Structure 1
Amino acid sequence: MAQNVTDESTAVSGNQTGDKEKAAQGKAALNKAMKPIQGKLNLGRTLAVVSGLLSVAPYTALVSIGDVLLKAWQQHTQPDANLVWMYVLVLIGAFMLRGLVYFIALTVTHFADCTLGASIRKSMADALGKAPLSTFNASTSGTIRKSVHDDVETLHSLVAHWPVEGTAAVATPIALFAYIVVLDWRLALLALATLPIYFGIQMFSVAGMDEKTALMDTKIGIVSSTVVEFASGIAVVKAFGRNGKPLRQYERAADDFLKFYNDWCGPLVRWCSISEAFIAPSVITVINLTGGMLLVQAGYVSAPQVLAATLTAMMLPSTITTIGNMQWSYQLAGSAALRIEQNLQVTPLPEAKHPKHPNGYDVRIDHVDYSYGATQALNDVSLTIAEGTMTALIGPSGSGKSTLATLIARFDDPAKGSISIGGVDVRDIAAEELYRTVSFVLQDPQLIRASIRDNIALGRPDATLEQIREAAKAACIDSEIIAFDHGYDTVINGTTALSGGQEQRIAIARALLKDAPILILDEATASVDPESEAQIQQALNTLVAGRTVIVIAHKPSAVAGADQMVVMDHGRISACGTHSELANEAHVKALDDIALRNRITAQSTTQSNATANATATQSADTKAQEVSHHA
């Protein structure tokens, strides 16, 4: 028992140390991120100070108006109208000038925020665009999405608002309090009467805020990652109910975050509510008016001075709240800046110092090893793919087919061995030339939220509409695109939804337009209906002509015409040959049997549905005849 307590205490101490270190790193990252726009932020702060000083002028004018009116009342005379109007104009003018200066200050910092956000997103796009494919696995893609979108948005409050609102929240109460001191030091003490109680409770309630904020941010990142992992495997989760591992991981992460958040924020909210009761406008008004009237009766101050001091004192709580909110934003922004910095520092794939040009388009894979963390995906794989031929990679899920194909396009580098195109190692080919040489058509088409025209022209942005339409016609999709209200200007995932088959044919049109000599097809017809599969197959026949083609498939019968068929199992090549040569190979036979059973099941389901529909129709007709007969 004692040992368990000791271990638990050590773990808690280690977590606290890690959270403190993360908070410190976040502050350093935040300062570094904001360094390029520091000049604009300082200008915003300066204007905020000017705005804070100008906030005193309306109260000064208000007291002056009160003094003129009170004096006239005491002397039973008419007040000096010209003097009153002058003070009114000063009050209105100062108020408007303060608002204008404050608006200019916020404009400056908002422009700085736009500059910083655009710069960060561009830098992250450049950095992540050069990162290896292993950077974007299911467990980290949620963190990357959070960094690219959410974290940049988190910096918005700190950059666009905090320099102005935070500075004004300090400068304004200082200027107003100085004015109250000038009126009477006793009124100044009344204005501050409840603040010591408020700050005492606040300091007690927010102890360890930096560390807890850093820990909360870490837990949110874990939840975000597990959500992405859960969503990516939703089909499997639905098929196997609540026993799926991604669902359990998400539930644990969500429950852990909820418990932490309730344990932290429950007491915090209670103490904050108690503290804010002491700076409520009603409490401040009662204290200042009661004390002020006693001072008026004693002859120390005048009624207009008490009124001005009370109104000024009521401004202090709002500035305190602003400072509290901005401090919270600062803590969140530190963690956001740290994640952004980590993504900017992702190790890119090394570029060749002296790029070479491939001599032809044959592909040679020589003793390649590759791992995803502790999981070895490829083990001593060697393969030669002749130029202008079709090679089919088949095998069960997880056998390494897709991994091998992506390494050909250098989505990552192998741990051992080499991959060459035209006799040149892909690591020695310039990235631009490599991606002009290799093209992909994936099972998931990966279309972007843009027009159909832009999606097809993604690999050739300078392509004309005529060239885009020619590619679409070859992909058997042109007539369907033209039928849309906006034709090729239709935005995908906008007002028009596309079927899986349509999206796949658009991806094929994109590959046709790019016209790369090496083509990789990853289960291009796996997730579509039979009618769409036939149309896609027709488009693929046009696409593969004259190219070096690598096809990834689960069904050997679907690639029976390939020049060579490569059977992969547990990251190794277990057999290689034509379909007829491998007809009796264990893996090929097993995959063909599975495909046959799936096809029979699908046909049986279709026939059962047709029979059920026919029976239902016949029953409905019979009932209709009976009703007619009785009628």
Structure 2
Amino acid sequence: MTILRPVRGRLVLAVLLQALSSAAGTGVLIAMAVIGDRLLRPAPDPAGIRNLAVLAVVAALLSVLLAAAATVLTHLADNALQLRLRRVLADRLGRVPLSWYSGRGSGQVKKAVHDDVQAMHYLVAHTALDVTAAAVTPLVAMVFLLTVSPWLALLALVPTITGAWLFRRAMAGAGPKMAAYGRAAAEINNAAVEFVDGIAVLKTFGRAGVAHRRFRTASDAFSDFFTAWAAGTTGITTASQLVVTAPVVLVVVLAAGVPAAAAGLLAPAALVAFVLLAPALAGPVATIGRHLQALRTGLSAAADVSALLDTPVVENGAAAVDPQDTTVRLHAVDFSYDGTTTVLSGVDLELRPGTVTALVGPSGAGKSTVARLIGRFHDATAGRITLGGVDLRELDPATLHRTVGFVLQEVTLLRTTVAANIALGRPQATRAEIEAAATAAQIHDRIVADPRGYDAVVGTDVAFSGGEAQRLSIARLLLADPPVLVLDEATAYADPHAEAQIQRALSALADGRTMLVIAHRLAGVRGADQIVVLDGGQVVERGRHEDLLAAGGRYSRMWRAQESTAVPALAEETR
């Protein structure tokens, strides 16, 4: 009901129109029954019969028009709701903690934003109208039939009651099974995404069969589950549908009504009324089987959408003042992704304007986590992080995003033009500025080698390698020109020649800015103003390159284990 609140007014109006439509439609049958009764009288009244016929025609037209208007209203409401939900979900997914995604496959996210919203179509566009029609039509018919013959009207309800009882037995335990149905569908979604994402790598190693094994297993499991469910309910479900069909209802009514009429206990004209209206009494049970699956799917989807909308988000601050400067400080920061395993513990760190801080350490030490905390991809579990003296949690997100720029290991390019990808941080940038940034990032020549150049759509017209994608992300950062730079293995995918050029471009950009560089190759950061060594989520050493070598600690051992490279040090280039 919370989800439907924005369109509730339109749905209420549609229900009212459908109720009037159903009553008018049933009124047509009632008018025909009354006409039959008058025609069977010894002295029929032509004028009265004509008036009833006109009334029936008007009621039929009114029923059609009202039903059409109700259907249009609910479908417009469905369209509006789907648009609103997708916008709200996109906003919510943009504000949930990044850790929320770690426990979910992309197939689950796609299911929530696309499949679940689409699955609610029947719930919004049809359910209210179907329920209204199923309730109003038999109610109006029953009221009229009770005035004709109370005992035969009650007898005509027997198929309906029997069908409802059988259907209830068929649906016993359907709730848990529908939940299992949803889980099985989500598993197929995840397996399909994995199939597409992983097949290239697996084929490289001659194990293409592994790529579709999980998808095949998920599909087979879904098939087995659904087949077993159907096998256990098909017989009784079929019986519940057959018993409320028009022929069965008419057999029951006529089996009792014809002998009664022959014995003079029932007017012959009354049989006409029951032949026309008695099948409508079984309408709810006759239609529920066709719509229940869609209804349950819609309700399940609505529950999933509601759960996603209730997911806690990273609360945005709204500091009234801008940061005093671009100094970044981590004050006794602890962090855990799952609330149990500590990734960072008691980290104190200061990044000063105009300096380069290098963060080094073994894999899994927490270096990338520090970078993401500075961008507020997560909030610290304990301690606090400040930018210019302002806690990140109190800072306006627009100010934070305008101040801190990233080049991460995992590069994401949007399915839009190359120019739009580079201008992501500055949508108003001119083409000349975009090309200048791409040139500085050593990716301009690769872009113009494609026939459509900067207008090529990534993923459709052009595909970039890992190193090329990373240089595009560097061009994006160069164009955005933020005062705080976080580089997480920014040159990891570049060849030695390109790496040297990118280092020079970044070095020019680093002048006067606050810069954090995360690196595995120590030779590239040996000239940094401050080198911080992380191990096990804690700071174990900090200082300049020469001092750390002389100390003979963890950094010294890491340095000796690595071969020197010819790549110019980033911090050296800034001097």
Above 0.5 in TM-score?
Answer: yes
The answer on whether the counterparts of 1:128 and 1:346 sit within 8 Å (CA) in structure 2 is no
Counterpart Cα distance in 1 of 2:271 and 2:444: 79
Q: Which amino acid in structure 2 is aligned with residue 133 of structure 1?
A: L
Q: Is 1:381–2:347 an aligned residue pair?
A: yes
Q: Which residue of 2 aligns with 1:268?
A: 233
The answer on whether the counterparts of 1:55 and 1:176 sit within 8 Å (CA) in structure 2 is no
Counterpart Cα distance in 1 of 2:133 and 2:446: 59
The answer on whether the counterparts of 2:532 and 2:542 sit within 8 Å (CA) in structure 1 is yes
Counterpart Cα distance in 1 of 2:445 and 2:276: 71
Q: Which amino acid in structure 2 is aligned with residue 99 of structure 1?
A: V
SS across alignment from 1:169: helix
CA RMSD of aligned residues (A): 4.8
| Distance change in 2, residues 1:200/1:351 (3 Å) | closer
The answer on whether the counterparts of 1:556 and 1:592 sit within 8 Å (CA) in structure 2 is no
Q: Is 1:166–2:141 an aligned residue pair?
A: no
Q: CA deviation at 1:480?
A: 5.2
Calculate the TM-score normalised by the size of structure 1. Answer: 0.71
Structure 2 matches for 1:222-621, cutoff 5 A? 223=187, 238=202, 266-280=231-245, 283-284=248-249, 300=266, 309-310=274-275, 312-314=277-279, 319-324=284-289, 331-352=296-317, 354-373=319-338, 374-478=340-444, 481=447, 488=454, 490-494=456-460, 497-526=463-492, 540=506, 544=510, 547-559=513-525, 562-577=528-543, 585-590=556-561, 592=563
Counterpart Cα distance in 2 of 1:589 and 1:498: 35
The answer on whether the counterparts of 1:508 and 1:543 sit within 8 Å (CA) in structure 2 is no
The answer on whether the counterparts of 2:441 and 2:474 sit within 8 Å (CA) in structure 1 is yes
Q: CA deviation at 1:104?
A: 1.2
SS across alignment from 1:194: helix
Q: Which amino acid in structure 2 is aligned with residue 102 of structure 1?
A: A
Deviations 1:162-182 (A, max 9, x none): 111221122123334445556
Higher deviation after alignment, 274-283 or 506-515? 274-283
Unmatched tracts of structure 2, length 5 or more: 550-554, 567-575
SS across alignment from 2:10: helix
Q: CA deviation at 1:49?
A: 0.4
Q: Which residue of 2 aligns with 1:615?
A: none
Counterpart Cα distance in 1 of 2:83 and 2:455: 26
| Distance change in 2, residues 1:369/1:61 (3 Å) | same
Q: Which residue of 2 aligns with 1:37?
A: 7
Q: Which residue of 2 aligns with 1:108?
A: 73
SS across alignment from 2:410: coil
| Distance change in 2, residues 1:322/1:276 (3 Å) | closer
SS across alignment from 1:95: helix
The answer on whether the counterparts of 2:353 and 2:512 sit within 8 Å (CA) in structure 1 is no
Higher deviation after alignment, 388-397 or 584-593? 584-593
The number of residues matched between the two structures is 555
Q: Which amino acid in structure 1 is aligned with residue 521 of structure 2?
A: K
SS across alignment from 1:55: helix
Q: CA deviation at 1:400?
A: 0.6
* Structure 2 counterpart of 1:206, from 160, 171, 176: 171
Q: Which residue of 1 aligns with 2:552?
A: none
Q: Which residue of 2 aligns with 1:53?
A: 23
Q: CA deviation at 1:401?
A: 1.1
Counterpart Cα distance in 2 of 1:406 and 1:231: 29
Counterpart Cα distance in 1 of 2:509 and 2:65: 62
SS across alignment from 1:388: coil
Higher deviation after alignment, 47-56 or 288-297? 288-297
* Structure 1 counterpart of 2:120, from 155, 158, 162: 155
Calculate the TM-score normalised by the size of structure 2. Answer: 0.76
Higher deviation after alignment, 574-583 or 262-271? 574-583
Higher deviation after alignment, 45-54 or 457-466? 457-466
Bigger share in helix:
1
Deviations 1:442-496 (A, max 9, x none): 2222233444444333323344444444434444445655666765554444565
Structure 2 matches for 1:79-94, cutoff 5 A? 93-94=58-59
Q: Which amino acid in structure 2 is aligned with residue 47 of structure 1?
A: L
Q: CA deviation at 1:96?
A: 3.7
Higher deviation after alignment, 387-396 or 536-545? 536-545
Q: Which amino acid in structure 1 is aligned with residue 422 of structure 2?
A: I
Q: Which residue of 1 aligns with 2:570?
A: none
| Distance change in 2, residues 1:424/1:148 (3 Å) | same
Structure 2 matches for 1:62-141, cutoff 5 A? 93-139=58-104
SS across alignment from 1:358: coil
Counterpart Cα distance in 2 of 1:530 and 1:318: 76
The answer on whether the counterparts of 1:133 and 1:411 sit within 8 Å (CA) in structure 2 is yes
Q: CA deviation at 1:45?
A: 1.0
Higher deviation after alignment, 60-69 or 320-329? 60-69
Counterpart Cα distance in 2 of 1:456 and 1:512: 9
The answer on whether the counterparts of 2:138 and 2:283 sit within 8 Å (CA) in structure 1 is no
| Distance change in 2, residues 1:192/1:352 (3 Å) | closer
Counterpart Cα distance in 2 of 1:62 and 1:490: 67
Q: CA deviation at 1:47?
A: 0.6
